[in-house]
Structure 1
Amino acid sequence: MRLSTVILPTTRWHDGGREAWLGAEQLGFHAAYTYDHLSWRVPFRDGPWFGAIPTLTAAAAATGRMRLGTLVTSPNFRHPVTLAKELISLDDISGGRITLGVGAGGNGFDATALGHEAWTPRERADRFAEFVPLLDRLLTEESVTHRGAFYSADGARNVPGCVQRPRLPFAVAATGPRGMRLAARHGQAWVTTGDPKLYETGTPEESYEALRGQLERLDKACAEAGRDSGELDRVLLTGFTPDRPLESFDAFVDFAGRHFALGFTEIVIHRPIADTMFAADRAVWERIATEALAQLR
């Protein structure tokens, strides 16, 4: 059982940002992640929002034990060739503490920032299916040439490669069959936020059963790929289900106990931000970090 947090990149580094990442490490979180977007939904759309890779680089230099990563990066505005170079550099600076959370992306604010129309779900899935295997190659091979439907590489060199071997781990966010297959083939972890259709109108019980179904589909995808599903960590990013696990310490212990028992190996909670969907009592968040796992064990 592992407990991690998300720190959204909304605070200037020298005006509380550095302290947020240091504080998460001092509290004992297994990992701290951040979103990789150019901007995000209201109320964050019109406020400060900093880049994920520079933020993680600064966090890597400031911390020494905690794992760091994106949750998640997507093809919406990333190219595998340039992303691979940045990740290798980040893995080096962190001393091998980086996990790449990667997903197909959505139709939010950064989906059209590069001047193209938002891709359909099918188009996003098609790009994702090429993006992940190519990124895998770029992070494990010294030189890569690729001509694909969406991405190209011409002798792209990535010496010396990642500190973590054969490359830094992928945590693949997926709920559909194509994404599940990518997780089974290329992932060291699988990520879900639950069933989005249940967020506003569903019940915690319905969400729990939906997650059970996702885990069963992951097991099936692994079996079809000839892989032991036990090799993959199962990561639940909270905040997008009908549950309210940060309402109190006891609420979180109950939530985490049920979901760890379901088969999840890592639960991720957001560092509270007032007046947003992630508003919560900071003292509860801190107590969860320091006491919850001991109670669950």
Structure 2
Amino acid sequence: MSISTPTQSAEKLKALGLAVIHTEAQAISELANRIDDAFAQACQFMLQCAGRIVVIGMGKSGHIGNKIAATLASTGSPAFFVHPGEASHGDLGMITAKDVVLALSNSGETEEILVILPLIKRLEVPLITLTGNPTSTLAKAAAVNIDVSVAKEACPLGLAPTASTTAALVMGDALAIALLEAKGFSADDFARSHPKGRLGRRLLLLTHDIMHTGEAMPMVSNTATVRDALVEMTRKGFGMTTIVTHDFQVIGIFTDGDLRRTLDKQINIHSTIITAVMTKHCKTIGADCLAVEALTLMQLNKITTLLVVDAQQTLIGVLHMHDLLRAGVV
């Protein structure tokens, strides 16, 4: 027995999708009027919080609350999510007198949250609520209630939380970013909490974290021949070799480009000393420089390799563009 699946025209499906977007866009637009004194007071409570911001919500509001808690935590406002159903079975012990509670409920009558209200009050922690009903039990119990009501849900049945959850999420973002700005939270601060993210790598990774050292460095002495240099270039696979003195002072570099120019001169690679054909003024960088600075230097000079040196111009490492690519800096 086969079950027929209803079909709709492409135009009808696109119209349905646009209707949802328009409804939710209108709900977000109306939030601009809710950035008022209550919003500012909520921010003040969270700015003065000596503990953490505890976000609670049930159902779809719980999913939104979880995301808001994550956004707060990653932007300089320590926060975590507590499921209200679990809170009444022991997890309420996670809330301390130094915390602030941020509760989400569109109806403002979510039973699981109302059950733990007396316990939150007993802790005497500030309660901030995001509700769609400013006259609800939860809103009235709050130190600050922010109105996130919507005219209608995007769901044509008016049942599935859609516009209401979008409005709560946007208001949560507004709170998080207002706190970020007020605290002077910087890109460096963000990177520290996202060390494996692209921004974290660009702002935290140093040259010495990814450079090649020791035997991995292509290197010949200032008495080596061009042939010796070619052997070293082939062995190490960098497309270049450094030229150093007996105490590892950098005096030059010999690259694939130098090789082409050298061969054009029809010299004897077995007898010609590398210092006669090397590039003397090569680009270098310090080991404690950001890897992104090395990338910028490579891009400006249209090169793929940098020598890493100390204050005395002693060679301590070699950095290739491929290293930056592997590290996710590029």
- Please report the TM-score for the alignment, with normalisation by the length of structure 2: 0.26
The higher radius of gyration belongs to 2
